[in-house]
Structure 1
Amino acid sequence: MNKEKRTEIFTRLRDENPEPTTELNYSNPFELLIAVILSAQATDVGVNKATDKLYPVANTPEAIYGLGVNGLKEYIKTIGLFNSKAENVIKTCKILIDKHNSQVPDNREDLEALPGVGRKTANVVLNTAFRQPAMAVDTHIFRVSNRTGIAPGKNVVEVEKRLMRLVPKDFLMDAHHWLILHGRYTCTARKPKCGACMIEDLCEFRQKRDYQ
């Protein structure tokens, strides 16, 4: 795919949604960090249902740490892998309190040192909370990047690096959100809605279907 096509693709995505953001509910970097940790192999809707009950009670490292593992589990037990996530969140809160003055770090090294935080989670926090150019490649972005030809790659890190290099700079800050939303609602896994897709004429997917 050439630069002109990519530019037009992101121009259309931006025109439709000028200020995209995550669908996770949060009001500060700490709430976002915890929500993203909880969202691994879970839906944003499911995480929001849990955090909508949790955050009014505890939304600081000290408050969640005070709940303890078992107390936290009561709020997140509807989320997949809640046992290990509860352990990781409590450990993360302790590190934030002890090493970071209860603040979420704004750099990759410190973020990835937190339990339950990998490269993808760090990228989400860096991009969404701190407005740093970063590309959190999940299954949606991986699929869209390969299927459309925007930035094909064999694994998530390869796709991430290609997107960071190939997405025009004017769109880099928000490209992560546009691609996720496009994959979640239009370029879906089993039946991509090619017939209702605003970039169908630019997409290089060879097995297009007129799904709506």
Structure 2
Amino acid sequence: MTAARGRTGRPPLSEERKAAVRLEIARAAVGLFIAQGVAATTGEQIGQAVGVSARTVWRYFPTKESCVRPLLSTGVDAISAALRQWRPGRPLREAFDHVWETEPDPPGPDVGALLRLTRTEPGLRAVWLRTHDEAEPAFARALAERSGLPADDMRPAVWAAMLNAALRAAVEQHAQRTADPGTTPAAARADLADALRTALTLTEAGLS
């Protein structure tokens, strides 16, 4: 009788580690896209910047443009949570005050530059728009929960679409306004907060 063979090779990565690898790949891709352009960047270069093979890059992302998605989708959970906590009769922007007060992000790729690239790179534009498209149902669920409405009610879906479009417009305008290389991180963060507050104020009447 032979002994049962044990599992060989590396142990599977945890979900936390997979998310970390995806973020590392995203940061590397953004840096390369900004430095040399999307067309000149290869999966092999992205992998080398992280210390993994191109095969690993493609295991996590179907295209090089989609590598940036983890950086574009940050904040969806925080926005949904803020919407659920939005108290009746209070300004919508107040529900997001804790977001503006968080500590500055650690040094990393220039997400503003990435957003500016989405205006000229069709592949990146598609990823950016799809990211917002997929965030919308999460916003609708949060608004339905906050309003006590059933999941199939149209109103939360319409409110979510309004909010989503307003946030996207605010972030894109912020990216254009902070294109000057001399803009400090603190100034950029303040500008983003101001842009998002303005967007929330403009949409509040329709969301109330």
Q: Same fold (TM over 0.5)?
A: no
Q: Specify the structure having the higher radius of gyration (Cα).
A: 2
TM-score, normalised to structure 2, is: 0.26
Per residue, is there more helix in 1 or in 2? 2
